[in-house]
């Protein structure tokens, strides 16, 4: 008989941590998991899912215009950023509940809070020690903000999903697919958008023809793309 409270204790309720906890429990292990923010991780809570909802919203302006060519008579349209964010929050809450439900159905003990590793077989959670034969750290990552003067004045993709109002003008720093998607979102929703990237061309590592074509298409749609640009400080 094991002297440990659990066979496995997982720190982090993202996709990896939830999957490991649920599958281990399905095989008969005694499992607990702790998450200090929200279950679902980056993809569900502040990454792929909310971003794709905003991407879909940003497409409608062009689709309303295209519809006329197919016989649809579209009336006046109006966009509400608060309504979009409220709908996004509702969907994220639904998915988080689904993640929690799947864990509980599998028999995993679910904790809300920050777990701290004490030694090789124990963690501390809300001041209480918990022991386990194995500890799995699945805490994910966070956005990188360059060490430049005024860095605290900017936001990351995390905060972009919770802005109280949509920006009228925005500069997106970076040339990867996340930055390119956000530039397309803001532009599609009507913001004056600039994409600044230090490299020679956006989407480093992608096919060269795709990179050039997408660059041109973004500019055609009104995004100001500035490559070879290093951000030094805010301009006041």
Q: How far apart are CA 86 and CA 99, in angstroms?
A: 20
Q: How much helix, strand and coil, in percent to the nearest 5, is found in the chain?
A: 40, 20, 40
- Which pLDDT does position 1 carry in this prediction? 47
Q: What three-state secondary structure class fits 62?
A: helix
- Which pLDDT does position 231 carry in this prediction? 87
Predicted TM-score (pTM) of the model is 0.88
Q: How far apart are CA 63 and CA 130, in angstroms?
A: 54
Which tens digits make up the pLDDT trace of 177-200?
999 999 999 999 999 999 999 999
- Residue 30 scores a pLDDT above 70: yes
Which tens digits make up the pLDDT trace of 146-167?
888 989 999 999 999 999 999 9
Instruction: Tell me the pLDDT band of 234, cut-offs 50, 70 and 90.
Output: confident
User: Tokens 């020679």 appear where?
Assistant: 200
Which tens digits make up the pLDDT trace of 74-92?
888 899 999 999 999 999 9
- Which pLDDT does position 144 carry in this prediction? 85
- Residue 22 scores a pLDDT above 80: yes
- Residue 236 scores a pLDDT above 60: no
In degrees, to the nearest 5, what angle opens at C-alpha 58 toward C-alphas 54 and 61?
Answer: 155
Instruction: Confirm if 107 and 27 have CB atoms less than 8 A apart.
Output: no
- Which pLDDT does position 56 carry in this prediction? 96
Question: Where are the domains positioned within the chain?
Answer: 1-70+78-144, 167-227
159 CB contacts (<8 Å, ≥6 apart)?
none
Average pLDDT over residues 110-139: 97
- Which pLDDT does position 232 carry in this prediction? 87
Domains 1-70+78-144 and 167-227 share a fold: yes
Q: How far apart are CA 39 and CA 92, in angstroms?
A: 10
Top-confidence residue, 202 or 140? 202
Smallest CA-to-CA distance from 160 within 201, 189, 136 is with 189
Q: How far apart are CA 189 and CA 171, in angstroms?
A: 14
Average predicted confidence (pLDDT) for the chain: 94
Class for the domain spanning 1-70+78-144: alpha beta
Look up the CATH number of domain 167-227: 3.50.50.60
Instruction: Confirm if 24 and 104 have CB atoms less than 8 A apart.
Output: no
């Amino acid at each position: 008989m094991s002297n440990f409270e659990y066979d496995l204790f997982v720190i982090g309720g993202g996709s990896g941590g939830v999957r490991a906890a649920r599958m281990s429990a399905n095989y008969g292990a005694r499992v607990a998991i702790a998450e200090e923010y929200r279950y679902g991780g980056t993809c569900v809570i502040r990454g792929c899912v909310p971003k794709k909802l905003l991407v879909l919203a940003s497409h409608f302006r062009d689709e309303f215009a295209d519809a006329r060519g197919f016989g649809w008579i579209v009336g006046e349209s109006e966009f509400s950023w608060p309504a979009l964010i409220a709908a996004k929050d509702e969907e994220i809450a639904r998915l988080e509940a689904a993640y929690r439900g799947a864990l509980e159905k599998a028999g995993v003990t679910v904790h809300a809070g920050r777990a701290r590793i004490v030694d090789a077989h124990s963690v501390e959670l809300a001041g209480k020690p918990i022991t386990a034969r194995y500890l799995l750290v699945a805490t994910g990552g966070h956005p990188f903000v360059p060490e430049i003067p005024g860095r605290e004045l900017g936001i990351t993709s995390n905060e972009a999903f919770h802005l109280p109002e949509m920006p009228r003008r925005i500069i997106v720093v970076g040339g990867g697919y996340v930055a390119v998607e956000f530039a397309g979102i803001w532009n599609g929703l009507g913001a004056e958008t600039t994409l600044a990237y230090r490299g020679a061309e956006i989407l480093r590592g992608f096919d060269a023809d795709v990179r050039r074509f997408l660059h041109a298409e973004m500019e055609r749609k009104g995004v100001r793309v500035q490559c070879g640009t290093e951000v030094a400080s805010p301009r006041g």
